[in-house]
Amino acid sequence: MKSTITYLKNFLKDKDVASVTPSSKLLIRRVCGPIDFDKDIVILEYGAGTGVFADYLLKQMTKDSKLILFETNEDFYDKLKEISDPRVEVFNDSVEHVKTLLKGKYLDEVDYVISGIPFSFLEPDMKSSILSQTVDMLKKGGKFLAYQTSGHLKDPLRKAFGNISTEMEFLNVPPMVVYEATKE
């Protein structure tokens, strides 16, 4: 409940917060379904919110895996900084600079990128830049896993990755389109 109140307050004051509640457990499981947790992996999460995906991921990940979280909202960032786990690194900056922020680290080495940032709010050039940098960060066979309120991301993902699959998760407020694209 505390997380829902945090989301609602920030939804009202921060134009970049696209939801009034954290993601549902069903949405989290659907988005994370393609992840192979049996091996050491590197995951980036764009728009980590209050950490509901991080909580789930950390319970599943191996001890030598790495989770890198990006969040621009100060209140959400403060909550993420409370995560006490050596596998986690948190950035209070926009993913439009992901390659610079990571200083070339993990280039072509990331297994999965999870994103809940509202791409529909972004200018086309910024959207394209983020997706292009994401492709650069992912290793061959790496996956971009996103959830959005509409199907608007299909064409940009097809252009960046050359492939895409989508599913709906209705048991979330609001319902979400779940995207999966793989670096070939």
Sketch the domain layout of the chain as residue ranges.
Answer: 23-182
| pLDDT computed for residue 23 by the predictor | 87
Examine the pLDDT at 18 and tell me if it is beyond 90. no
Q: What is the mean pLDDT of residues 172-181?
A: 95
Tell the residue number behind the tokens 């390659």, with chain if given. 99
Condensed to tens digits (0 to 9), the pLDDT of residues 58-114 reads: 999 999 999 999 999 999 999 999 999 999 999 999 999 999 999 889 999 999 999
> In the structure encoding, which two tokens stand for residue 125, read together?
């050039």
Per the CB < 8 A criterion, the answer to whether 89 and 68 are in contact is yes
Task: Answer with the residue of higher pLDDT: 178 or 13.
Answer: 178
Rounded distance between C-alpha atoms, residue 181 and residue 58, angstroms: 23
| pLDDT computed for residue 9 by the predictor | 43
DSSP-assigned beta bridge partners for residue 178: 147, 167
Assigned CATH topology for domain 23-182: Rossmann fold (3.40.50)
Condensed to tens digits (0 to 9), the pLDDT of residues 141-150 reads: 999 999 999 9
| pLDDT computed for residue 8 by the predictor | 41
Q: What is the mean pLDDT of residues 112-126?
A: 95
Give this prediction's pTM: 0.88
Per the CB < 8 A criterion, the answer to whether 176 and 149 are in contact is yes
Q: pLDDT band at 3, cuts 50/70/90?
A: low
Q: What is the mean pLDDT of residues 158-181?
A: 95
Examine the pLDDT at 10 and tell me if it is beyond 60. no
Examine the pLDDT at 4 and tell me if it is beyond 90. no
